[in-house]
Amino acid sequence: DSAMKIETLAFGFGLIEGPRVDPEGNLYFSDVTNGGVFRRSPSGAIETVVPRRRGVGGIAIHADGGIVISGRNVCHVRDGATRVLFARDDVPGWNDLFTDAQGRVYTGSMLSNPFGDERERKLGECFRIEAEGRATPLYGGVSLSNGIGFSPDGRRIYHSDTAKSLVHVHELDAAGRAKPLAPILVEGSPDGLAVDAEGFVWVALYRQGAIARFSPDGSPDRRIE
């Protein structure tokens, strides 16, 4: 798209994940391989918010201050203090996460090494974290959990599955139960994901240097290299 402008905001990191902007325009992001969560101010200054922590694939801004991050557990970090929201002994890691209008956190479990090349991966689940220590599994069958997002009305949840080359789509009923819909099939490996105000789904393509946009019904709309 010739009208789209691409600007470099940060460089010199390993594997950047979880970009999220707060109401003041600060950009939070993590470095999965080297460790740490960072904050870039609108002026361009970058500071460390969470030092050393590796494997942070998802970040959300907490309404009471601080951030919610994934990794070996899902926790709330504010002013240097860490409060674990959810963890399971049988889940070695959690990847991307997102929140709904009620402030509940949705995240995917990773049961196999995300950087491995196993042909048979252990399938993870999507969990909804309602409060500290309380979470509900919504659906399973996720091979390599990645980006999560909601339709503008909050009734559909989209969930990238990098290893399966698709985006899982589920409809949420009034009770919060998930009904599977036809997935979005992706040419490539879907990673980060965002849904725009029109309900179109934007998917970053791992190792392709590209972004694909899909209409709400899952049909390809455009591809940006």
Segment 18-33 shows an average pLDDT of 97
Instruction: State yes or no: pLDDT of 112 exceeds 70.
Output: yes
Among candidate residues 204, 211, 97, the one with its CA nearest the CA of residue 145: 97
Residue 225: per-residue pLDDT = 83
Instruction: State yes or no: pLDDT of 1 exceeds 50.
Output: no
What is the rounded CA–CA span in Å between residue 61 and residue 68? 6
Q: What 3 state SS string does the chain have?
A: CCCCCCCCCCCCCCCEEEEEECCCCCEEEEECCCCCEEEECCCCCEEEEECCCCCCCCEEECCCCCEEECECCEEEEECCEEEEEECCCCCCEEEEEEECCCCCEEEEEECCCCCCCCCCCCCEEEEEEEECCEEEEEEEEECCEEEEEECCCCCEEEEEECCCCEEEEEEECCCCCEEEEEEEECCCCEEEEEECCCCCEEEEECCCCEEEEECCCCCEEEEEC
Residue 116: per-residue pLDDT = 76
Instruction: State yes or no: pLDDT of 137 exceeds 90.
Output: yes
Segment 160-177 shows an average pLDDT of 95
Digit-coded pLDDT (tens) for 193-214: 999 999 999 999 998 989 999 9
Specify whether the backbone of 165 is left (phi greater than 0), alpha (psi in -120 to 50) or beta: left
Specify whether the backbone of 87 is left (phi greater than 0), alpha (psi in -120 to 50) or beta: beta
CA max distance for the chain: 48
Instruction: State yes or no: pLDDT of 97 exceeds 60.
Output: yes
Least confidently predicted of 105-119, 138-152, 201-215: 105-119
Segment 98-119 shows an average pLDDT of 89
Segment 41-66 shows an average pLDDT of 97
The tokens for 85 are 């929201």
Q: Which residue has the higher pLDDT, 88 or 3?
A: 88
Q: How many CB atoms lie within 10 A of CB 133?
A: 10
